[in-house]
Structure 1
Amino acid sequence: MPLIDTHCHLDVAVFDADRTAVMQRSAAAGVTDIVVPGISAAGWAKLLALCADAKMNRPMLHPALGLHPLFLAQHQPVDLAALARAVRQQPLIAIGEIGLDFYNADCDPPRQQALFAAQLAIAQEANLPVLLHVRRAHDAALLTLRRFPQVTGIVHAFNGSPQQAAHYLARGFKLGFGGALTFERASKLRRLAAELPLDALVLETDAPDMAGAAHRGERNSPEYLPEVLATLAALRHTDAATLAAATTANARAVLHLP
């Protein structure tokens, strides 16, 4: 059952000591492709080098570059120009991780909105999908997306309402589900994942963050993606093989993977 982890920060330092082993275990678990999103310009070079090196041996890692809304203090105006250049020079799978995060009181929504819109414009110009990080800001994100009708992609770690989900799906977005789904207390999220159309769903880990119930307090890893699949299959009362085929096909379609 080939699986695609549509959101995994395999480039970060906590994987430096055993990254190759993690990739090997992930492959053994059925994970054939891993999308690696960027969060700030300072980390892009390492991310791109990692994905390029992996492709020399096995085309498992796929790079995305973006400026994450939670790291506004790290982003500079020149970073947007650098992103536009990278789109022309690098084989990117998507623009991401980008979006809006209004969770904290000092989140600076106007600056987040400007950064988000600028990156959506780059994605639309390059005909690339986007990987969205949206927290307590789905209505605002959907409003901004109206200005960029050609842009689609994945809403990572979706946690919005059924109505918000429907708006994203109408635009051609897929919704990512990961370790949070494996917690029994996540009743609202579980109900949504069970009821959404099958063609709306993709899998993710967001490793090293958002570990599932079986690994609470541990470093998350793409090798745990089958646990998300098993939970989702149980919630939807379907077999894992059918769900694996569907979520993999959904990810390939929205990310233009062969």
Structure 2
Amino acid sequence: MENKYVIFDTHAHYDDEAFDEDRETILKQIKDNGVIGILNCASSYKSIEKTNKLTIENDFIYGALGIHPENANEFNSNVEIEIIDLIEKNKKIIAIGEIGLDYYWDENPSKDIQKQVFREQMRLAEKLKLPVIIHDREAHGDTLEIIKEFPNVNGIVHCFSGSVEFAMECIKLGYYIGITGVVTFKNAKKIIEVVKHVPLEKLLVETDCPYMAPAPNRGKRNKSDYIAYIIEQIALIKELEPKEVNLAVNDNFKRLIQNNI
């Protein structure tokens, strides 16, 4: 698909092994197809260095460093020191993430460990005055409770999966709502309601690639230029011109990260 939009993907994982065989080719391809920026979000300890390296090697990639709740057991004071050190050396690391809670998988670390690590990384974001990228899966109540504890921190609730009411609570606390390709799925009633009710100036678009490719590419490996489908779906839901949505979500991200880019 030839792209007519100016795309900033606010959540991607190009460090993922799904891109190991053709990463450079894909990055060149999406750049040629209208992708002006990517926020690559670390998730595991291993991905912290890989994300940092991607930002150094690619002018249009920025980074978020943190430990995902599925890997909460990997977070400790030494990892925190490493993250601080990388952020001090690299101005392209502009957020702490992906952090949060994931109660979906039974094999994940315990809820107590996840909450402790989430709080520790929220403290780190507060200390460094950086926004956070929050992962929240089937943990809306506890996520809200913890973000309320840190009124000086804001960021993105990525791959939003909660209710309209939860979205409005997050917005009140200074957060943006990350919309993925899920909004294009036939059974996506909940997120469509969220998009309808959340003001355009609080929405962001993201792929979470290589996961969650939008229709008509559902089930395939996702990539940042597919955000065009998300923009068009949001425009349809909100009865706006796609270009207006495109420019607005880019401005929203710039506003969030303020002086970091």
TM over 0.5: yes
CA distance in 2, matches of 1:95, 1:202: 17
Aligned to 1:199: 201
Q: TM-score, normalised by structure 1?
A: 0.93
Aligned to 2:14: 10
The alignment status of 1:102 with 2:103, answered yes or no, reads yes
Q: By how many angstroms is 1:148 displaced?
A: 1.4
Secondary structure of the corresponding residue to residue 96 of structure 1: strand
Q: By how many angstroms is 1:93 displaced?
A: 1.0
Aligned to 2:55: 51
CA distance in 1, matches of 2:147, 2:197: 24
CA distance in 2, matches of 1:247, 1:33: 13
CA distance in 2, matches of 1:202, 1:166: 15
CA distance in 2, matches of 1:151, 1:73: 23
* Per-residue CA distance 1:6-47 (angstroms, 9 max, x = gap): 000011222122222222322233221100000122222222
Q: Work out the percentage of aligned pairs sharing the same amino acid.
A: 31
The alignment status of 1:69 with 2:69, answered yes or no, reads yes
- Which protein has greater RCO, CA pairs closer than 8 Å, 6+ apart? 1
CA distance in 2, matches of 1:18, 1:252: 29
Q: By how many angstroms is 1:124 displaced?
A: 0.5
Secondary structure of the corresponding residue to residue 11 of structure 2: coil
Q: By how many angstroms is 1:217 displaced?
A: 2.0
Q: Is the 8 A contact 2:7 2:225 kept in 1?
A: no
Q: Is the 8 A contact 1:69 1:98 kept in 2?
A: yes
Aligned to 1:244: 246
Aligned to 2:163: 161
Aligned to 2:135: 133
Aligned residues: 254
Aligned to 1:81: 81
CA distance in 1, matches of 2:197, 2:33: 27
CA distance in 2, matches of 1:25, 1:227: 17
Larger displacement relative to structure 2 (81-90 or 165-174): 81-90
Q: Is the 8 A contact 1:199 1:247 kept in 2?
A: yes
Q: TM-score, normalised by structure 2?
A: 0.92
CA distance in 1, matches of 2:73, 2:127: 26
CA distance in 2, matches of 1:185, 1:36: 28
CA distance in 1, matches of 2:9, 2:256: 13
Q: Is the 8 A contact 1:6 1:34 kept in 2?
A: yes
CA distance in 2, matches of 1:5, 1:81: 28
Q: Is the 8 A contact 1:8 1:36 kept in 2?
A: yes
Q: Is the 8 A contact 1:22 1:222 kept in 2?
A: no
The residue type paired with residue 147 of structure 1 is E
- Structure 2 residue ranges without an equivalent (≥5): none
- Structure 1 residue ranges without an equivalent (≥5): none
Q: Which one of 25, 30, 35 corresponds to residue 31 of structure 1?
A: 35
* Per-residue CA distance 1:192-246 (angstroms, 9 max, x = gap): 1122111110000000011112112211111211111111111111111100010
Secondary structure of the corresponding residue to residue 103 of structure 1: coil
CA distance in 1, matches of 2:177, 2:229: 18
